[in-house]
């Protein structure tokens, strides 16, 4: 009975070759057996390119890694080659941009224009001041404290825009400013207490205090230089009509000679000093970090533009505010910064102040969009990312 039932469902194909040919043709048409072609790979890449969570993650990882690598390179006991380090960064960045342009990955980079370079050169000088004071502050301060004090730049830029561009400060923004100042005070208090307790590994508290005082001085200069750079760039960029990659290209290209001249005049290029700055046991890691830091500038610019494109400027602003927390935590994880009630409280207050400020900017932008339309100068993605990076 069972055999009979089975026979009712068996179809014998003639073994003359024709059945096998038809079967092979049918199997070749099955979707599961079809090999992946260029179109499938292109569709997969397109899905990744338009994936909002992936763009947010890439932006966060690129900015966190940039801060961590910079801190690692300049944290050597005898490190004193900051101008040389920044020159290497700029050279790597220009080389990467030129290579991408040759390969056709960057298509909207205009040829070099000496007239534009002459007009942009003052902005590049301000950039040199900003990045040099940034590395010096990061050399003496921990990553969490550096991140917290960087918020003070937002206050200076906001009131600079009020003075020179007719901006306004809302009550919510004022609240965030107050929290930023409070977080900086708490962070400084926690640092001083840790220095007195000997948590920084120095032999005496006076050495630790002198290190902190140097860091706070460089941080104050960095706040002023960063605000000057951002406000100056906003004023000049309207006249230059730079595209996406032009700002990054001119900034790095014009800073290379300035950085090398400053390095030759100020820094010690002797073989003994180079051996101290690049000790044999960590030389390769430091060199890799210097090269990566130059590439990271491109990663941050691309990921910023990517995040804005596939999400929105509102989401990007919130991500920039939320990103301060993992950056601060990375300093506690990778560099053994003292974990105290004061330091944790300062990080939390600074994190909240960043969220409130981002919310204030979002509300202000929505009000502006609801008002009468006005002509606004376009800002390139790299310029926007430079400005946001300066504020973060």
98-137: per-residue pLDDT in tens?
998 888 888 778 888 888 899 889 989 999 999 999 999 9
Q: Given a cut of 70, is residue 147 above it in pLDDT?
A: yes
Among the residue ranges 71-85, 208-222, 365-379, the one predicted with the least confidence is: 365-379
pLDDT top residue among 13 and 73: 73
Question: Scanning the structure block, which residue is given the tokens 């100068």?
Answer: 377
Q: Given a cut of 60, is residue 376 above it in pLDDT?
A: no
Q: If you average pLDDT over residues 206-213, what whole number do you get?
A: 83
Given pLDDT bands bounded at 50, 70 and 90, which one contains residue 46?
low
For residue 242, give the DSSP letter.
Answer: -
pLDDT at 11: 41
Contacts of 378 (CB under 8 A, 6+ apart): 241
Q: 138 near 293, Cβ under 8 Å?
A: no
How many other C-beta atoms are found inside a 10 Å radius of the C-beta of residue 76?
16
Please, what is the end-to-end C-alpha distance for the chain in angstroms? Answer: 80
Q: Given a cut of 80, is residue 243 above it in pLDDT?
A: no
Q: Tens digits of per-residue pLDDT, 65-75?
A: 888 899 999 98
pLDDT at 6: 44
| Rounded Cα distance, 297 and 301, in Å | 6
Q: Tens digits of per-residue pLDDT, 29-42?
A: 455 555 555 556 65
Tokens of 286: 């430091």
Given pLDDT bands bounded at 50, 70 and 90, which one contains residue 222?
very high
Of residues 72, 82, 77, 71, the one with CA closest to residue 130: 82
Within 13 Å and on the Cβ side, how many CA atoms surround 24? 5
| Rounded Cα distance, 45 and 40, in Å | 9
Given pLDDT bands bounded at 50, 70 and 90, which one contains residue 265?
very high
Instruction: For residue 109, give the 3-state DSSP assignment.
Output: coil
pLDDT at 201: 57
| Rounded Cα distance, 221 and 135, in Å | 11
Tokens of 232: 């100056």
| Rounded Cα distance, 360 and 236, in Å | 26
Q: 203 near 364, Cβ under 8 Å?
A: no
pLDDT at 134: 93
């Amino acid at each position: 009975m069972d055999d009979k039932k089975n026979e009712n469902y068996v179809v014998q194909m003639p073994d003359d070759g024709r059945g096998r040919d038809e079967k092979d043709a049918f199997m070749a048409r099955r979707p599961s057996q079809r090999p992946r072609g260029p179109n499938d790979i292109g569709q997969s890449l397109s899905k990744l390119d338009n994936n909002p969570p992936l763009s947010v993650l890439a932006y966060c990882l690129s900015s966190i890694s940039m801060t961590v690598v910079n801190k690692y390179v300049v944290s050597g006991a005898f490190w004193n080659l900051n101008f040389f380090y920044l020159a290497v960064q700029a050279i790597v960045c220009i080389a990467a941009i030129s290579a991408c342009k040759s390969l056709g990955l960057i298509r909207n980079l205009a040829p070099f224009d000496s007239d534009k370079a002459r007009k942009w050169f003052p902005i590049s000088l301000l950039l040199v001041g900003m990045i040099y004071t940034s590395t010096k502050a990061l050399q003496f301060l921990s990553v969490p404290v550096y991140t917290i004090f960087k918020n003070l730049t937002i206050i200076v830029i906001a009131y600079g825009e009020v003075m020179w561009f007719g901006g306004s400060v809302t009550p919510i923004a004022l609240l965030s400013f107050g929290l930023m100042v409070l977080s900086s005070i708490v962070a400084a208090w926690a640092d001083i207490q840790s220095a007195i307790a000997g948590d920084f590994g120095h032999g005496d508290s006076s050495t630790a205090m002198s290190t902190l005082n140097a860091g706070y001085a460089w941080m104050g200069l960095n706040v002023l230089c960063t605000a000057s750079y951002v406000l100056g760039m906003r004023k000049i960029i309207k006249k230059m009509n730079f595209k996406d990659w032009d700002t990054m290209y001119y900034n790095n290209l014009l800073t290379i000679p300035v950085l090398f001249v400053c390095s030759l005049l100020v820094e010690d290029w002797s073989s003994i000093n180079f051996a101290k700055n690049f000790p044999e046991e960590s030389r390769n890691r430091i060199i890799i970090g210097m090269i990566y830091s130059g590439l990271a500038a491109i990663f941050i610019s691309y990921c910023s533009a990517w995040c804005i494109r596939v999400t929105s400027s509102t989401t990007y602003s919130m991500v920039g505010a939320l990103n301060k927390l993992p950056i601060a935590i990375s300093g506690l994880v990778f560099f053994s910064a003292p974990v105290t009630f004061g330091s944790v409280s300062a990080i939390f207050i600074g994190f909240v102040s960043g969220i409130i400020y981002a919310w204030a900017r979002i509300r202000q932008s929505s009000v502006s969009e609801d008002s009468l339309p006005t002509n606004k100068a376009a800002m390139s993605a790299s310029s926007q990312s430079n400005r946001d990076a300066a504020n973060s």
